[in-house]
Amino acid sequence: MNGKGDTYRPVSKDYAKKYDQIEWRRKLISLETWNTGRRKIILDDNPKQNGIKCPDCGLELYDIDRNSILTSLPPQTKIWCDGCHYTGFRVL
């Protein structure tokens, strides 16, 4: 008995070896690490507060306009809140 019940089957050594070779499997990062990194990139890249109040928490929103112009009529740009991480669009 292995203590994990009768349905437990250990994976074969070959399968485990292949699984370990999968790049993403070995380089998983935490959600917090990802979010912290992305947040830094967004704010360091082009922080531009736009004078608009966040609808969720009331802090001033940022325009994060690089690569995020929505070609609607009229065009819109992506907005982001550093306080609560709200995202949305505003008309240009």
Interacting residue ranges for Zn ion, rule: CB under 5 A: 54, 56-57, 81, 83-84, 86
User: What is the smallest separation between the CB atom of 42 and Zn ion, expressed in angstroms?
Assistant: 14
Q: Is the CB of residue 78 less than 8 Å from the CB of residue 52?
A: no
User: What is the smallest separation between the CB atom of 24 and Zn ion, expressed in angstroms?
Assistant: 32
User: What is the smallest separation between the CB atom of 81 and Zn ion, expressed in angstroms?
Assistant: 3
Q: Which is nearer to Zn ion, 11 or 84 (CB)?
A: 84
d(CA 25, CA 8): 22
Where are the strands (E) in 1-92, listed by range?
Answer: 48-53, 60-63, 69-70, 76-80, 87-91
Q: Which is nearer to Zn ion, 58 or 75 (CB)?
A: 58
